[in-house]
């Protein structure tokens, strides 16, 4: 369960552990951060911040084993491919009908000034 505040609105998001891609090590020599990486960067969770390289490496192995996720090297990580978004307009008509022209509706004759005949039983 992630708790976030977006533009002042508090929200809680349920995220499964299987949705995370792995445990990554970020940072430089003086401060390193251990992060639980999600495909959406806003849902990534920092696990540990520290300067001791040995402590960080041990924690990296422990967190990776605990969540059964791979250890990711952030330097060699490639960005995830973009997802195709559904086109709402395209879903309205089948593709073969998109090539057809829509027929012009002819104007129906309007009878005005006449008496109506209503059939009653």
Query: Tens digits of per-residue pLDDT, 64-96?
Result: 888 888 888 765 556 566 666 666 665 666 666
pLDDT tens column, 17-74:
888 888 988 877 778 888 888 888 888 888 888 888 888 889 888 988 888 888 887 6
Q: What is the pTM assigned to this prediction? A: 0.54
The band of 6, judged by pLDDT with boundaries at 50, 70 and 90, is confident
30-34 CB contacts, 8 Å cutoff, 24+ apart: 32/56, 34/59, 34/60, 34/63
Q: Where are the domains of the chain?
A: 2-73
């Amino acid at each position: 369960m992630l708790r976030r505040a977006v533009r002042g609105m508090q929200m809680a998001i349920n995220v499964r552990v299987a949705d995370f891609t792995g445990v990554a090590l970020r940072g430089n020599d003086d401060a390193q951060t251990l992060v639980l990486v999600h495909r959406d960067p806003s849902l990534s969770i920092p696990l540990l911040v520290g300067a001791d390289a040995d402590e960080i490496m041990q924690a990296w192995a422990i967190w990776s084993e605990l969540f059964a996720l791979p250890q990711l090297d952030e330097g060699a990580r490639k960005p995830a491919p973009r997802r195709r978004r559904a086109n709402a307009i395209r879903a309205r008509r089948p593709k073969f009908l998109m090539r057809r022209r829509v027929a012009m509706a002819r104007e129906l004759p309007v009878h005005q000034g006449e008496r109506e005949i209503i059939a009653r039983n």
